[in-house]
Structures are given as structure tokens and as C-alpha cells.
Amino acid sequence: MSGQPLCRLDDLDDPGSAGFVLRRGGQQVPLLVVRVGGRVNGYVNSCPHIGAPLDWTSGQFLSRDKSHILCAVHGALFRLHDGLCVGGPCAGKALIGYPLVLKDGVVLAAE
């Protein structure tokens, strides 16, 4: 499987996160990547409540204890492994997942 390289797995803290902007079909797609151990998950950087970006500062998506993705606008908390909101105004909704591939230590956005 091919894809657009985003970063090396080792560039991400464990747990950690980073933000990226992809170009797909003439559109920009804001992404966030979350690492936990040797696994990475990708999500569209948009809160399901109002569509605002989630990061409180560029590329910073995790709660202070790094146990959840935190929406900077409303404080909603999302699980790292599946993006489900477990607290806040959009509880029960989920982030839009984006497929990633980990190949030879490189995180790729799947095409």
C-alpha cells in the first residue's frame, strides 16, 4: 500500500500527536495523528460539535495527561484509539477517521 509520508514514528512522542495538512483532489484535509506505542491513528482535525480545529496550539491535540484527544474550543474528550467522544458537548459522536499506514518506521497517509 502506498501513501503520502507524514513523519517517522520516532518523531512522535509516545503517547503523542502531530498535525498535518494533506492535499486531496484540490482540497486541503487537516489531519491529526496520534501515537500510542507502535500504533498510529489518523483523524480529520475537526470537532464533530461545530467543526472547529481540535488543537489548542499547532500540533498539540492531547489532554494534559495524554490519555485523550482534547478539543481546545469546548473541552470535549475523545478516545485515542477510535476517536469516540466520551465527554463534552458531542458525547457519543466520533472524529472522522483517516487511514494511515506504518511502513518501515514511516507514517503514511493512505491513498
**Residue 50 has what DSSP assignment?**
T
**Cis omega (within 30 of 0) for bond into 48:** no
Predicted TM-score (pTM) of the model is 0.93
Write out pLDDT tens, residues 88-108: 999 999 999 999 999 999 999
* Superfamily designation of domain 3-102: Rieske [2Fe-2S] iron-sulphur domain (2.102.10.10)
Is-contact 62 71, C-beta < 8 A? no
Tell me the pLDDT tens digit for each residue of 34-89.
999 999 999 999 999 988 999 978 889 999 999 999 999 999 999 999 999 999 99
Domain ranges of the chain: 3-102
Long-range pairs for 71-78: beta carbons < 8 A, 24 or more residues apart? 71/47, 73/47, 73/49, 74/47, 74/49, 74/50, 76/47, 76/49, 78/43
**Residues 52-79 as b or e (16 or more Cβ within 10 Å = b):** ebbbeeeeebbeeebebbbbebeebbbb
